[in-house]
Amino acid sequence: MPPLPPSATELLSQLAALMRPHVMPNAVLVGIHTGGVWVAEALHTALGMQTQLASIDVSFHRDDHHIGNGLRAGGRASHLPDVEGAHLILVDDVLYTGRTIRAALNEIFDYGRPAQVDLAVLVDRGGRQLPVAATYCPHRMPLLPGQSLDLHRDAAGLLTFSLSEQ
C-alpha cells in the first residue's frame, strides 16, 4: 500500500496558499458533505473570507444509487446562498472518479446559474471516469481502484487521513 499523503493540516495550509492570490472577496466556498465541508470550514477561516460558507449534499444527484438502495437515511439539506451569477468554489477532500463533482454541479444548478465554479481538493487520487479537473490541488497521489483514501475529523476537529483496501 502506498504511504499516506502529507498531513491534512499541511495540505490545508498549501491549499489556502494556492488559492489566496486568486480568490475574490465575493467568492463563496461550497463544501460537499462531509469531508468537503470540513475542508471548506478550515479554508474559510484560513482565507479570512467574509461571504457565507455554503454546503451541499449530493445524495439526490448520485448516479450510483440504485432504486431501493437510494438516498442515505437522514440526508443533510444543502445550504446555498443565491448562486445566480456568483463565483463559487466547490470544495471536497479527495477527487477520484469525478462523479461526486458531477452530482455537486447538478445540485448547484438546481439553485441557479453561477458565473463561475472552481474546484478545490486536498488530494487528487487519479482514476477519473469523467472529464473533471481541480483548479486548486496541493497533492496528487495515484491509488489503485481497490484502495480508498478517507478524511476523518476527531472530536477536537483535527483532520487526518486513512488509507484502506476495499
Q: What is the pLDDT of residues 58-111, one digit of tens each?
A: 987 867 654 444 444 456 889 999 999 999 999 999 999 999 999 999 999 999
Strand segments, DSSP code E, in 12-114 are: 28-32, 54-56, 87-95
Provide the residue ranges of all domains of the chain, joining segments of one domain with +.
Answer: 8-64+76-165
Q: Which CATH number fits domain 8-64+76-165: 3.40.50.300, 3.40.50.11440, 3.40.710.10, 3.40.50.2020?
A: 3.40.50.2020
Residue 157 region, left (φ>0) first, then alpha (ψ -120 to 50), else beta? left
Q: How far apart, in whole angstroms, are the C-alpha atoms of residue 5 and residue 49?
A: 27
Give per-residue pLDDT as tens, 18-69.
999 999 999 999 999 999 999 999 999 999 999 999 999 998 786 765 444 4
Q: Specify the residue for cell string 468554489.
A: 89
Instruction: Provide the residue type at 48 as one letter.
Output: G
What pTM did the predictor assign?
0.92
Q: Are strands 147-153 and 159-165 parallel, antiparallel or unpaired?
A: antiparallel
